[in-house]
Structure 1
Amino acid sequence: MEEDEYMLLESMAGCFGFLVLYILVKLVHSIWWKPTSTEKLLKKQGIKGTCYKPFKGDIPDMNKCAREAASKPINLNHQIVPRVFPFFHKMVRKYGEVSVCWFGRKARVIIVDAELTRLILSNKNGQLTKPPRDPLIKLLTMGLTSLEGEKWSQRRKAVTSAFLLDKLKAMLPAFSYSCCTMIERWQKFVEQNNGSSELDVTSELDILTGDVIARAAFGSSYKEGKRIFDIQKEIAILVHDALTNIYIPGFRFIPTKKNKKRYKLDVQIKDILMDMIKKKEHAMKEDESEGRSSNDLISILLESREVGNSLTTKDVIEECKLFYFAGQVTTKNLLAWTMVVLSIHPDWQEKARQEVLDLFGKEQIPPDFEAINRLKIVSMILLEVLRLYPPVPVVSRYTTCETKVGSMTIPAGVDLYLPVLLLHHDGRYWENPQEFNPERFSQGVSKASKDQNAFYPFGWGPRICPGQSFAHLESKMALAMILQHFSFHLSPSYSHAPCARLTLTPQYGAPVIVQCISI
């Protein structure tokens, strides 16, 4: 009996020892062997950069650079790269257009090259995907952006159908109504303040773009959607916090204060959207019985679900969450930066205003679709602002296996970081890149730069933003109507402080003095 017990204990000890050895081997592989092997392979190809440091890598340096850059505003010019991406800026200046740094134990290859960027974003063979992220981040950006393969292809088809030309034209009255509401509100502010009023246009345009999406994409009023926007902002702050820290598997299940808040907000937003979906389903049944059709995003997705598509109600909720965030925040920031830039360059503000008045006359009637398409100067200005202040200043991809990129062989498990902002400010591709010069787009995007592959405000390739036409149309109408009614210049309280918080945003807001124009 004692011998049997001894053999059992010996067997258990052997199993335990094997388990410990297995864990040690996995740790050594993960923490040392794989990163150092990746480092050697990259350096062998001439890709320079920082040396691998176990556990944290370059994260302390990244955070230090970001804190120092964010501590003070910059001069009123468009040389914003060192403030927005201080670490990337330092890496590119020191190591060149392709360099490697370390986010914890994961290699990040920073690429500031137009052709390589195009190759990476055009990849269709499944070797380059969206980087795996902390599951907490997915609370904000699930839906289309998180999918791959056939599921992504089916979902993309359903979402893209919401932004076809006829659908956009049908949304125009909603755009117009939202813009008119904002113009009337601004006019009241000006009247109450003796002819001019200071407005933080980031807050004002937050209301406008929220209203546009709520009405045009979901058929509801801004009042109904406002709670969703407020929740999305809170989640975005928590997501930004997660992005700047190393992901620890299983950490999201620990009931920390931030984790509990994240999940509470996620439940709230899903409940609101579920209620909106139920109302929309009821309204769609009534419309069908009366021969009417709906053109908003949520209706199109629900119809897609009904005709055999693999979409579930959960999928519809995720796409709604994504569109609320992506559609609202990016367009708000584009318009805010446009008003800042036109305040810095009043000559271009006047040129754009004259074009608007020449096309639309002096009756202050909201422009129609054809009139908006004739706004050449306004379009050139928006494109140049997208170049200088791209809403999404960096995109990334992840190598699922060893992948050929140009002449480079990138190992599996590497993040490819494509800082669009640096590319848009690169003198190799743009004449006087720090200068605001809308004329460079006078013959279209393809002839604006020395290399037609150097402009990526909405991404590129199969995963290019499906809502870019929506954003362009909304931005042109909003800017045209603002120019039609107001002149504006920067408030003395304005501080020029672009910063990357998921999107490129003014750190301290954008206070602007607006005045009604006499026509």
Structure 2
Amino acid sequence: MMGFLGILLLLITLLLIYCCYRLYHAYGVLKRLGIPHPPVTPLMGNGIELLKMPSTDFQEKWLAKSGKVFGYYIGTKVDIVVADLDILKEIMIKQSNKFVNVDRQPQIMIEIRRNNNMGPGLLFEEGEEWKRIRRIITPTFSSKKLKLMMPLVDKSISSLCSVLEDINKKEQSVNVHIIYAQFTLETILAVAFGSEVNVLKGEGSALSEAANGFFTDLNESFLVWEDIFNCYFPTLLRFLSVIGARMLSLGKHMKVVNDTSLSIIKSRREHQMEQSHNGNKREDFLQLLMDAEAPDDPENESSNKASRVLTDKQIVGLCLDFMIAGQETTSSLLAFTSYLLAINPQEQEQLCQAIDDYYQENENPSLYDASQSIPYLDWVIQEALRIYPPAPTTSRLCNETCTANGITIPNGCRIIIPILKIHMSPEYWDQPEVFNPKRFSPEGKEGRNPQAYIPFGSGPRSCIGMRFALMEAKACLVSILRKYRFERSPDTQVPLKMVVGFTQFPKDGIYLKIAKV
């Protein structure tokens, strides 16, 4: 009996020694690479500190201590934060073929998509398949195709202006962040799914409710715990994700989006000939994806029709991407821009004068043409995106060990790009906290490193929906500012208290008065 217990004790001791060795080896990666990192806690790495504070605060703290590059561990997984613009150029542009993927898809999302037979969209698609899909859908965001979608945007803008008129009559301040969220949701549902729901007027549908409830179950803490579990208990993580995919509201929301999209696609395919004959074919994002076909690939002789078009499950995944990426980010852009104009009335008047001058010089221009032809409007939007980038961070996954400006980046490592930190750095911007649209005039941009301004990322993996988001925001502001002005009210919070996570938004809303010209 003692002999058995002795052997068992020896085996346990050897197992503990082995585990300690593995942890020691795992937590030596950054030291061997010569990259500074915070002190680690066994098993958790730096996970405890990340759970206690927003990731942006964590980055700010350790960049101040370590310089422009530092690393950390979540469990035993290595992340490297890079704020050095030369290294970022290598990662996002020059060596982008070694950083093809943006990030790992959460396991629970994998399970939910699997349950619904839904494609991963473009955000989480990987490798060659990502390149194929990107090649097919890139023409969808050309100026010509964006113009086709403009009538749907214009309709929602008209509804928004009607709501603002009612608000103006009441002479009360209003939380514009909520108003813009309703506007962008209405626009996205119309453009991405062909669903005409007047969200601004209080109408709802199963699809709008699903869109409103997205990602209430996911936050930064959730993903930190997932990374830790994935290091030590990958099988348990998959088991819990299978259960969570069926229990969490996120799964129900995605099922509504999936089923609704497939139903619309099926209906349109059945009536395709009839619609073409009658000239009633919708020109929205969903239809453009259904019609999308990449040109022949001269480098691939085996290229066939199937390789140049999208499957229905891929179309649904892309529409979901479009909704997730385009709704909250665009509403925040509009809300923050309105806020900055309200607290900087001189800049607002200069923009309004530029809009008035354009309409005086051009007879009956389309809203699309007007919104694309006013340089000062571009500068205002870009400055708002600098101060309040929709995503405060982005990331890239290294798929091949490489060296960027003397820093070795191992295969499988995630690179964290602190967009907000870079945008507010005095090294690249004079008085970065000041709203100054002229930074983006030709003279203002002269000599500036392009990587100092990356609200939509940079390189091949930059946000493909950027042009649509900018079109929607600029058209909206042109329409509003021809009739109204944004004004501070006693409820306007200056400065704003922010909640920063995957995106950033005002903790207490943005209250402004809407004054008629």
Relative to structure 1, the CA distance from residue 328 to residue 179 in structure 2 (aligned partners, 3 Å threshold; closer, same or farther) is: same
Does the CA contact (< 8 Å) of 2:83 and 2:422 recur in 1?
Answer: yes
Q: 69, 79, 98: which is aligned to 1:98? A: 69
Does residue 231 of the first structure (1) align with residue 210 of the second (2)? yes
CA shift digits 1:454-503 (9 cap, x unpaired) = 11111111111111111111111111111111112234334412222322
Offset of 1:209 from its aligned partner? Answer: 1.3
Does the CA contact (< 8 Å) of 1:424 and 1:433 recur in 2?
Answer: yes
* Residue in 2 that maps onto 1:477: 475
Does residue 34 of the first structure (1) align with residue 26 of the second (2)? yes
Aligned partners of 1:463 and 1:110: how far apart in 2?
Answer: 18
1:329-344 equivalences under 5 Å are 329-344=328-343
Aligned partners of 2:485 and 2:246: how far apart in 1?
Answer: 43
Does the CA contact (< 8 Å) of 2:149 and 2:285 recur in 1?
Answer: no
Q: 98, 109, 112: which is aligned to 1:126? A: 98
Relative to structure 1, the CA distance from residue 364 to residue 278 in structure 2 (aligned partners, 3 Å threshold; closer, same or farther) is: farther
Q: 195, 204, 223: which is aligned to 1:220? A: 195
Does the CA contact (< 8 Å) of 1:176 and 1:366 recur in 2?
Answer: no
Q: 158, 162, 168: which is aligned to 1:180? A: 158
Does residue 389 of the first structure (1) align with residue 374 of the second (2)? no
Does residue 165 of the first structure (1) align with residue 156 of the second (2)? no
CA shift digits 1:137-182 (9 cap, x unpaired) = 4559931011122210111122212111111112222222211111
Aligned partners of 1:225 and 1:285: how far apart in 2?
Answer: 31
Offset of 1:445 from its aligned partner? Answer: 8.0
Q: 34, 49, 53: which is aligned to 1:65? A: 53
Query: In structure 2, the residue corresponding to 1:461 is in which secondary structure?
Result: coil
Higher mean C-alpha deviation, range 286-295 or range 204-213 = 286-295
Letter in 1 for 2:195: S
Moved over 6 A (4+): 19-26, 362-366
Aligned partners of 1:162 and 1:370: how far apart in 2?
Answer: 18
Query: In structure 2, the residue corresponding to 1:136 is in which secondary structure?
Result: helix
Does residue 88 of the first structure (1) align with residue 87 of the second (2)? no
CA shift digits 1:21-52 (9 cap, x unpaired) = 9987985575442232x13212xx3x222133
Letter in 1 for 2:126: E
Structure 2 residue runs of 5 or longer lacking an equivalent are 114-118, 294-303
Q: 278, 285, 289: which is aligned to 2:277? A: 289
Higher mean C-alpha deviation, range 123-132 or range 87-96 = 123-132
Aligned partners of 2:246 and 2:427: how far apart in 1?
Answer: 44
Relative to structure 1, the CA distance from residue 500 to residue 232 in structure 2 (aligned partners, 3 Å threshold; closer, same or farther) is: farther
Normalising by structure 2, we get a TM-score of 0.84
Aligned partners of 1:27 and 1:412: how far apart in 2?
Answer: 23
Relative to structure 1, the CA distance from residue 161 to residue 52 in structure 2 (aligned partners, 3 Å threshold; closer, same or farther) is: same
Aligned partners of 2:353 and 2:470: how far apart in 1?
Answer: 20
Normalising by structure 1, we get a TM-score of 0.83
1:46-445 equivalences under 5 Å are 47-66=35-54, 85-122=56-93, 123-127=95-99, 129-137=101-109, 142-191=120-169, 193=170, 196-223=171-198, 227-240=206-219, 241-247=221-227, 248=229, 249=234, 250-251=236-237, 253-254=239-240, 255=243, 259-290=247-278, 294-304=282-292, 307-308=305-306, 309=308, 311-361=310-360, 367-443=366-442
Higher mean C-alpha deviation, range 51-60 or range 412-421 = 51-60
Offset of 1:96 from its aligned partner? Answer: 0.8
Offset of 1:269 from its aligned partner? Answer: 2.5
Identity of aligned residues (%): 26
Offset of 1:428 from its aligned partner? Answer: 1.6
Aligned partners of 1:29 and 1:506: how far apart in 2?
Answer: 46
Relative to structure 1, the CA distance from residue 127 to residue 438 in structure 2 (aligned partners, 3 Å threshold; closer, same or farther) is: closer
Does the CA contact (< 8 Å) of 1:430 and 1:450 recur in 2?
Answer: no
Query: In structure 2, the residue corresponding to 1:327 is in which secondary structure?
Result: helix
Offset of 1:325 from its aligned partner? Answer: 1.1
Higher mean C-alpha deviation, range 271-280 or range 249-258 = 249-258
Structure 1 residue runs of 5 or longer lacking an equivalent are 1-9, 67-83
Aligned partners of 1:252 and 1:238: how far apart in 2?
Answer: 17
Offset of 1:115 from its aligned partner? Answer: 1.8
Higher mean C-alpha deviation, range 358-367 or range 208-217 = 358-367
CA shift digits 1:201-256 (9 cap, x unpaired) = 11111121122223334333135985434324433121215224233233353336
* Residue in 2 that maps onto 1:79: none
Aligned partners of 1:23 and 1:271: how far apart in 2?
Answer: 49
Aligned partners of 1:163 and 1:197: how far apart in 2?
Answer: 39
Letter in 2 for 1:118: K
Higher mean C-alpha deviation, range 450-459 or range 365-374 = 365-374
Q: CA RMSD, aligned part only?
A: 3.2
Relative to structure 1, the CA distance from residue 301 to residue 411 in structure 2 (aligned partners, 3 Å threshold; closer, same or farther) is: same
Aligned partners of 1:57 and 1:413: how far apart in 2?
Answer: 17
Aligned partners of 2:26 and 2:355: how far apart in 1?
Answer: 59
Offset of 1:98 from its aligned partner? Answer: 0.8
Does the CA contact (< 8 Å) of 2:342 and 2:486 recur in 1?
Answer: yes
Does the CA contact (< 8 Å) of 2:175 and 2:510 recur in 1?
Answer: yes
Letter in 1 for 2:226: I
Offset of 1:95 from its aligned partner? Answer: 1.0
Relative to structure 1, the CA distance from residue 341 to residue 364 in structure 2 (aligned partners, 3 Å threshold; closer, same or farther) is: farther
Letter in 1 for 2:89: R
Aligned partners of 2:500 and 2:65: how far apart in 1?
Answer: 22
How many residues end up aligned between the 2 structures? Answer: 479
* Residue in 1 that maps onto 2:511: 511
Letter in 2 for 1:60: I
Aligned partners of 1:127 and 1:374: how far apart in 2?
Answer: 35
Letter in 2 for 1:207: Q
